[in-house]
Amino acid sequence: MADIFARRMGTVHRSFIREILKVTADPEIISFAGGLPNPELFPVAAMDKAAHEVFSTIGASALQYSTTEGDAGLRAIIARRYKENRGLDVDPDSILITTGSQQILDMVAKVFIDRGDKVVIERPGYLGAIQAFSLFEPEFVSVSLEPDGPDLAELEAAFRAGAKCFYSVPNFQNPSGVSYSLAKRQAVARLLDEYGVLFVEDDPYGELRFMGDDLPSIFSLRKNPGILCGSFSKIAAPGFRLGWLVADRAVLDKLVIAKQAADLHTSTVAQAIMRRYLETNDIEGHVALIRERYGSQREVMVEMIRRYFPPEVSIIEPEGGMFLWATMPRGASSMDLFDAAIKDKVAFVPGQPFHVDGTGDNTLRLNFSNSDAPRIEEGIRRLGRSIQTILK
């Protein structure tokens, strides 16, 4: 049977995280493993109202096939928000609506990556990107992520060695929570321009900043435009599978071809409801609410880690997003910790799968967006105990 599959299937596996989520379905387990937004904050009533308004006004056209590029009104709103919230001038015609921002990674790989092309990613890096790119058989080159962004010497060495593409999550990265400093953004932009490397800037969490100042996208700092990716999953709801990308015309044309072949277009219904929701609700106020809630959950997690984790465990304190990264002393295994923690009814994601070079065995990702303060307190207490057990 195995020999009927394409060669590329030999290099990829089911998402380790999704497999872990099955283990953690036990309701007694406090899970910091998932990457879920907090469903208590989903604007359910507003979406109900928006859906009714869509069906009762433009119902038939919302149910019909539509253009690959996406709803023009929705693209205009995305462009307006870039201008108002980020000071970024984006032509709505340079926006392509996608089936979640995950789809962008598949399309980018399809359009740009030949087998063996060098793709530079952060270490640790976003697992969904590693999976999507892997199917197109690149040579991954990973660059250390420091608390203020990538190691610039490693990045330049990778670019000098002939990198085709750099995939980066500069704001509150999944899994590390790291946000690039302004200096590193400027340096990365310079290196990208100097070496002519295609840049894919993934920004699903950028609007979820709890502290510090918003920083410009690397996309906006470059002379040569790249591909900027956005998503409604973290600021509204992921169940619609609605994302978008910004790219120049030549690149967009190819991505549109890839999207036509992949799913013709993104759900017309989902786009219409999201557009109506955005037109008739205060999305900025809603995002502020998410920021406030996640920010306070992050505070509790950091405080509890200080209380319950052994001091030899270091963490990166995130300024936004949904994840916190912890590193145990060298030699400790987060897979061993996972087994111990499950017995203690607490879960997290071991860090090794985020490392394409197989390192990171002593690291772990903790999600704080989807647990309230009491569960964070109890969960971190349990996890601290598990860590002490395996560090003995």
Q: How far apart are CA 94 and CA 6, in angstroms?
A: 34
194 near a second copy, judged by CB under 8 A: no
Q: Which is nearer to a second copy, 15 or 85 (CB)?
A: 15
Q: Within 10 A of 16 (CB to CB), how many other CB atoms are there?
A: 15
Minimum Å gap between C-beta 69 and a second copy is 10
Q: Which is nearer to a second copy, 114 or 213 (CB)?
A: 114
The amino acid occupying position 347 is A
Minimum Å gap between C-beta 81 and a second copy is 20
94 near a second copy, judged by CB under 8 A: no
Number of residues that bind a second copy (CB under 8 A): 81
Closest Cα partner for 320 from 185, 186, 176, 217? 176
12 near a second copy, judged by CB under 8 A: yes
Question: What part of residues 195-234 is at the interface with a second copy (CB under 8 A)?
Answer: 198, 233
- Residues 6 or more apart whose Cβ sits within 8 Å of residue 197: 120, 159, 163, 164, 165, 166, 191
Minimum Å gap between C-beta 231 and a second copy is 11
Among positions 31, 99, 176, 179, the unique one binding a second copy when judged by CB under 8 A:
99
Angle, CA 316 vertex, CA 311 and CA 318 arms, to 5°: 135
106 near a second copy, judged by CB under 8 A: yes
Among positions 94, 179, 266, 369, the unique one binding a second copy when judged by CB under 8 A:
266
Q: How far apart are CA 19 and CA 36, in angstroms?
A: 15
Binding window for a second copy (CB under 8 A); candidates: 8-16, 86-94, 147-155, 358-366: 8-16
Among positions 70, 92, 100, 226, the unique one binding a second copy when judged by CB under 8 A:
100
Closest Cα partner for 182 from 144, 213, 224, 146? 213
What angle separates helix 102-112 from helix 127-134, to the nearest 10 degrees? Answer: 30
Closest Cα partner for 232 from 290, 292, 280? 290
Among positions 150, 238, 320, 351, the unique one binding a second copy when judged by CB under 8 A:
238
Minimum Å gap between C-beta 11 and a second copy is 10
Q: Which is nearer to a second copy, 5 or 311 (CB)?
A: 5
Minimum Å gap between C-beta 358 and a second copy is 20
Residue 180, both tokens: 């690039």
327: β partners: 314, 363
- CA distances from residue 52 to 56, 71, 235, 254 in whole angstroms, order as listed: 6, 18, 21, 35
Q: What is the CA radius of gyration of the chain?
A: 21
Question: What part of residues 30-49 is at the interface with a second copy (CB under 8 A)?
Answer: 35-37, 39-40, 42, 44-45, 47-48
Minimum Å gap between C-beta 294 and a second copy is 16
Q: How far apart are CA 109 and CA 192, in angstroms?
A: 18
Binding window for a second copy (CB under 8 A); candidates: 4-12, 149-157, 175-183, 355-363: 4-12
Binding window for a second copy (CB under 8 A); candidates: 87-95, 167-175, 264-272, 383-391: 264-272
Residue 225 in contact with residue 260, Cβ under 8 Å? no
Among positions 79, 90, 95, 113, the unique one binding a second copy when judged by CB under 8 A:
113
Question: What part of residues 138-167 is at the interface with a second copy (CB under 8 A)?
Answer: 164
Binding window for a second copy (CB under 8 A); candidates: 128-136, 289-297, 309-317, 361-369: 128-136
Which helix (H) or strand (E) element contains residue 127? helix 127-134
3-state secondary structure of 144: strand
Question: What part of residues 164-183 is at the interface with a second copy (CB under 8 A)?
Answer: 164
3-state secondary structure of 243: strand
Angle, CA 342 vertex, CA 336 and CA 345 arms, to 5°: 145
Minimum Å gap between C-beta 111 and a second copy is 6
348 near a second copy, judged by CB under 8 A: no
Question: How many Cα atoms are found within 13 Å in the side-chain-facing hemisphere of 144?
Answer: 8
Question: What part of residues 306-345 is at the interface with a second copy (CB under 8 A)?
Answer: none
60 near a second copy, judged by CB under 8 A: yes
